[in-house]
Amino acid sequence: MDNEVFQIAFPGMTIDEDATFDKLEKELKTAFLYKRLGFNRREAVTTPSYEVNESGTNSARTISKQTENIAIHNIDGEDRSKQTYERVTYAIGRLKHVHQRIITTRFMTEPEPSDLSVWLDLNLSERTYYRIKIEAMSELAYALRLEVVIE
């Protein structure tokens, strides 16, 4: 582990950098999709399913599991996506300016550009770009508490 950010933040611990960055990219993708599309609600299927009601109770007064699950998803899913977006944008806003530019340009724009186009756009050398990108992703993962510790 050569990552200076993780060495300072977690002395004596080993951080799985690849797994941490995978979790971070997933979180960034979720935040970007919420920013771009909002939240897609699920809807109940209106086709009735005919089942034998052996208990003798009137099933018209009960809420089906499908309807309950969809309602929970629509309420909790939207809140979760919104909170993820707010957490990610707040954490990005706390990074150094060059780190913010790399993260937002690389992960929060449509269509998602390649690393090559980002480092050319920012007028950086390839080596400098990757060094700064790893620094930025490490700081952001630490800020969002997404680090994966190897036991």
Cα Rg for the chain, rounded, in angstroms?
22
* Residue 41 pLDDT exceeds 60: no
pLDDT of 99 over the 90 cut: yes
Highest-pLDDT range among 5-9, 11-15, 41-45, 101-105 = 101-105
Q: What's the pLDDT at 39?
A: 55
Contacts of 95 (CB under 8 A, 6+ apart): 103, 136, 139, 140, 143
pLDDT, tens only, 48-86: 555 655 565 555 555 557 666 666 656 666 777 788 889
* Token couple for 141: 């993962």
Kindly report, residue by residue over 115-140, the tens digit of the pLDDT. 999 989 999 999 999 999 999 999 99
What is the value of pTM for the model shown? 0.69
